[in-house]
A and B are shown apart, each in its own frame.
Chain A
Amino acid sequence: MLLTVLKAMAALASLGVIAASMLALASWKFHVEVDPRVEAVASALPGANCGACGNPSCFAVAEAIVEGAMPVTACVAGGKSVAESIAALMGSGSCDIVAVVSVRHCGGGTAAARSYEYGGVQSCNAVSRLAGGALVCPAGCFGYGDCVCACPFDAMALDERGLPVIDIAKCTGCGICVRECPRGPIGLLQLVADDAPIAVRCNAHNKVKERKASCSACCIACKKCEKECPADAIHVIDMLAVVDYDKCTGCGTCVRVCPQNCIDLYAGASSGTHADGAGKDALAEPVAAGASVEG
């Protein structure tokens, strides 16, 4: 018995030693010189290995940038500052990059009607596969927080309404939440420029009557915002208010006039912190500018 144990130990140990020495020899013999710039670029990257750029790791991006296979602006999450430091390392000129953040186009949450009781895996991607999801609204937020779990920068959290709120200070605009969201890439979660002052908290495109029956926080296409906007920047297109950020000045008129409270101040708004769905209150009592947690 003891002999068998000893033989087993010896056999496995010798296998281990052989494998280890073989690998040690290989790492010395097959050593590949790595371009020192790769290390430098890799240390300039955020190092979260978020995968937003399409590469499996930050090191792989660094290699691709040094080889010239990807531009110095390849890092989606790093934004302008990272792109500039990489451009400096690579000796290339300036880089034009617009910093973006994620924005949620839904104010439903607990205010949205359900079509059935769901008791399965608590995941938006799971519920969306079951007869199109438990919400009556075809575009609303399921509220199980797949985006929150996916966010590599800890910039999202579910609030008491069951909606993900985005911490703009932490959001890097990597777009992973947008890809994770079962509502699709141009629906519920979208990327906007990080100085976008206004967010419309609805992205439903069904009939307004159906929409009103299924959710109390939806856009009802009343066109009040369109009529009142001094900059002609918000329009009701396909029965849904859409902001033209090129024209929007962030004056907050639309937020004030919206009867559904479904237009909100967002990242670039000067009034700073506000509770979304309560946009008017935020305008009446602006909190100190600079605070950047979306309600």
Chain B
Amino acid sequence: MATISHFLLLFVGAALINNILLTRFIGLCSFFGISNSMNTAMGMSAAVIFVMMMASTTTWLVWKFLLFPLNLGEFLYIPAFILIIAALVQFVEMYLRKYSPALYRAMGIYLPLITTNCAVLAAATEVAKPGFFKMAMAYNYTLGEALVYALGVSVGYGFALLTFTALRERLDIAPVPRVLKGNPMSFITAGLLSLAYVGLAGWFGL
């Protein structure tokens, strides 16, 4: 099973076909909150990719070696995973501050903000807990698959966020009718963008 095409399908499925923002509508607060300028969107995307990979690895390990063997996963996964993600983000922040001040400054305020991002919790839960989302892809991941899946989800997040930011930056200077200016136009744009992504459903049997 573990061929290159399998991992590729997993990645494409997580990034595009089941895009976390535009087909599954998870993490929409940051989608609208920080899509005003390209710089902040880039910082946020990089931070999400980084944190999602780290968090998914950790939650996978905790599920595999703690929650599942003790038969506690069904009700304890949310508090346990939130605890892990919060502590992990704090730890990563301290580490970066000491050993990579440049990266620390580039990610800036977005690193601590991600602690409470629901997209991170969703991805970290999906890779660990089988059947969390009742989709064709929800099954028991190996660690390698979990990493590829988390990378796919976070890259998909970044891709959708950057697309939307670019559109919003152009809309700011476009002749939008007065009643639609600002948020209404952003919501319509997000809806159309979401329709475009939903159009990908079913590709490659995903």
Contact = CB atoms under 8 A, between A and B. Distances in A.
Interface in B103-123: 109
Interface string B74-91: 011001100110110011
Interface of B: 62, 66-67, 70-72, 75-76, 79-80, 83-84, 86-87, 90-91, 94-95, 97-99, 109, 178-179, 181-184
B125 to A, nearest CB: 15
A53 to B, nearest CB: 15
Interface residues of A, number: 22
Given A20-B87, A129-B181, 20 more contacts: A4-B72, A7-B70, A8-B75, A8-B76, A12-B80, A15-B84, A16-B83, A19-B84, A23-B94, A26-B95, A27-B94, A29-B98, A30-B94, A30-B95, A30-B98, A31-B98, A32-B98, A129-B183, A129-B184, A131-B179
A19 B83 contact: yes
Contacts of B178: 131-132
A132 B176 CA distance: 13
Nearest to B75: A8
Contacts of A56: 109
Among A12, A16, A20, the one with the most B-chain Cβ atoms within 10 Å of its Cβ is A12
Contacts of B83: 12, 15-16, 19
A59 to B, nearest CB: 12
Contacts of B183: 129
A214 B15 CA distance: 54
Contacts of B99: 30
Contacts of B179: 129-132
Top-4 shortest CB links A-B: A19-B87, A30-B98, A30-B94, A26-B94
Nearest to A20: B87
A219 B14 CA distance: 61
Contacts of B66: 11, 15
Contacts of A15: 62, 66, 80, 83-84
A54 B83 CA distance: 32
Contacts of B75: 8
A22 interface: yes
Nearest to A129: B182
A8 B80 CA distance: 10
Contacts of A8: 72, 75-76
Nearest to B101: A32
Given A22-B87, A27-B94, A11 B70 contact: yes
Contacts of B76: 8, 11-12
Contacts of A32: 97-98
A228 B144 CA distance: 83
Nearest to A19: B87
Nearest to A28: B94
